[in-house]
Chains A and B, each alone.
Chain A
Amino acid sequence: MPTDAPSPPLIRARGLTKRFGSFTAVDAIDFDVAPGEAFGFLGPNGAGKTSTMRMIGCTSPASGGTLTVLDMDPATRGPEIRGHLGVVPQQDTLDEELTVRENLVIYGRYFGLSRAECGRRADELLEFAQLTERRDSRVEPLSGGMKRRLTIARALINEPDVMLLDEPTTGLDPQARHLLWDRLYRLKQRGVTLVLTTHYMDEAEQLCDRLVIMDKARIVAEGSPRQLIEQYSTREVAELRFPVGVQETLDGQLAGLADRIEHLPDRLLLYANDGEAVAVAVHDRGLRPETVLVRRSTLEDVFLRLTGRTLVE
Chain B
Amino acid sequence: MSAATAVATGQPRRSVPRAWHLIERNLFVYRRTWTIIVSGFFEPLFYLVGIGFGLGRLVGDVTGPAGQPIPYAVFIAPALLATGAMNGAVAEATFNFFFKLNFNRTFQSILATPLSVRDVAVGEIAWALIRGGLYAIGFMMVIAVLGLVRSPWAVLAVPAALLLGFATGAVGMAATSFMRSPTDFDLINIIVLPMFLFSATFYPIETYPEAIRGIVAFTPLYQGVALIRGLTVGVIGPEMLIHVVYLLAMGFIGLWVTSRRLDRILLK
Contacts and interface: CB of A to CB of B under 8 A. Distances in A.
Partners in one complex: yes
Interface string A90-115: 01111111100010001101111110
A70 to B, nearest CB: 6
Contacts of B111: 59
B116 A89 contact: no
Given A110-B110, A110-B113, A111-B11, A191 B1 contact: yes
Interface string B4-27: 001100111110001001001100
Contact of A20 (B2, B106, B267, B268): B268
B7 A95 contact: no
Contacts, number: 103
Q: Which residue, of B21, B28, B109, B110, has the highest number of chain A Cβ atoms within 10 A?
A: B109
A154 B109 CA distance: 10
Contact of B105 (A59, A84, A87, A93): A93
A225 to B, nearest CB: 24
Most chain A beta-carbon neighbours within 10 Å: one of B3, B12, B108: B3
B82 to A, nearest CB: 30
Contacts of B28: 97-98, 102, 106
Most interface-central of B21, B25, B110 (chain A CB within 10 A) = B25
Interface residues on A, range: 35 or more
B1 A79 contact: no
A106 B123 CA distance: 14
Given A59-B267, A97-B29, A161 B113 contact: no
A10 B112 contact: no
Contacts of B109: 89, 93-95, 107, 154
B194 interface: no
Interface residues on B, range: 20 to 34
Contacts of A60: 267-268
Contacts of B29: 97-98
B267 A61 contact: yes
Contact of A82 (B104, B106, B114): B114
Contact of A10 (B3, B14, B18, B114): B3
B115 interface: yes
B2 A98 contact: no
B119 to A, nearest CB: 9
B1 A113 contact: no
Nearest to B30: A97
Interface string A61-83: 10000000011100000111011
B6 A106 contact: no
A279 interface: no
Interface in A130-183: 154, 158-159, 161-162
Query: 10 nearest interchain CB pairs?
Result: A93-B109, A110-B113, A93-B105, A79-B114, A83-B11, A87-B112, A112-B14, A161-B6, A112-B12, A97-B29
Given A84-B6, A97-B29, A106-B21, A112 B1 contact: no
A154 B7 CA distance: 21
A92 B111 CA distance: 14
B177 to A, nearest CB: 17
